[in-house]
């Protein structure tokens, strides 16, 4: 009996067609699962890279705005509109802030303007910088992107103090969800401006 079992196990007849199909089906299932995992990982990596880049650009834009505020020789001027359907005179949807980059006798002789704008008036908004008092998506230098809101500037004045500009940049590379919103904010004093009476 044992000799018959050994002889049967020693034969090399190969696999039947049904066995081969079963193995191929199992292999394709495993390969599909592995591919799904790799594709999901690739999408997650791409999403995180885009979020990081949007956050980094917002940080660099904040540094540039701080410089413009601190070197402005008069108080910044903030212009905003209550709704994105009504554009500012300059064509900006949302907000812009004008800094005096040079002054003569306390009067601005040249300006730098920052604005949050988009071609459609809807998110995502870009943050643009332009010399002069006009600023829009089509004539400014883009410093940041993927802003969820366009009302990013707010000027506060308190009697006896210099004006302060509050900045809030809510950025997200994936605007379809609200899970990854990163808000970078700061309040910077216009130190070269006169105190509010």
For the chain, which residues make up each domain, given as ranges? 40-189
DSSP 92: -
pLDDT recorded at residue 79: 75
Residues 80-94 have pLDDT tens digits of 654 444 444 444 445
Could you write out the DSSP letters of every residue in 102-164?
A: EEETTEEEEEEEEEEE-SSSSSSEEEEEEESS---TTTSEEEEEEES-S--EEEE--BTS--E
Tell me: pLDDT of 11 over 90: no
Q: What share of the chain is helix, strand, coil (3-state, %, to 5)?
A: 30, 30, 35
pLDDT recorded at residue 24: 93
Tell me: pLDDT of 177 over 70: no
Tell me: pLDDT of 194 over 90: no
CB 141, CB 64: distance < 8 Å: no
Residues 19-63 have pLDDT tens digits of 888 989 999 999 999 999 999 999 888 888 888 888 898 899 989
Going by pLDDT thresholds of 50, 70 and 90, the confidence category of residue 10 is low
pLDDT recorded at residue 87: 45
Hey, which residues does 165 pair with through a beta bridge?
155, 188
Residues 115-162 have pLDDT tens digits of 888 888 787 888 899 888 888 888 888 998 888 877 788 887 777 788
Measured in whole angstroms, how far is the alpha carbon of residue 67 from the centre of its chain?
Answer: 21
């Amino acid at each position: 009996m044992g000799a018959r079992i050994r002889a049967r196990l020693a034969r090399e007849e190969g696999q039947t067609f049904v066995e081969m199909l079963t193995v191929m089906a199992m292999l394709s299932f495993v390969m599909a699962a592995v591919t799904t995992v790799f594709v999901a990982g690739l999408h997650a990596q791409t999403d995180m890279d885009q979020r990081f880049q949007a956050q980094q650009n917002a940080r660099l834009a904040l540094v540039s705005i701080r410089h413009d505020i601190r070197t402005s020789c008069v108080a910044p001027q903030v212009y905003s509109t209550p709704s994105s359907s009504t554009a500012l005179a300059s064509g900006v949807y949302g907000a812009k802030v004008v800094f005096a980059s040079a002054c003569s006798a306390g009067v601005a002789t040249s300006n730098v303007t920052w604005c949050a704008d988009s071609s459609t008036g809807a998110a995502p908004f870009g943050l643009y910088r332009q010399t002069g008092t006009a600023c829009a998506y089509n004539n400014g230098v883009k410093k940041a992107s993927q802003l969820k809101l366009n009302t990013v500037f707010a000027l506060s004045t308190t009697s006896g103090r210099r004006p302060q500009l509050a900045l809030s940049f809510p950025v997200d590379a994936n605007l379809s969800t609200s899970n990854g919103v990163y808000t970078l904010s700061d309040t910077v004093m216009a130190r070269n401006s006169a105190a509010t009476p």
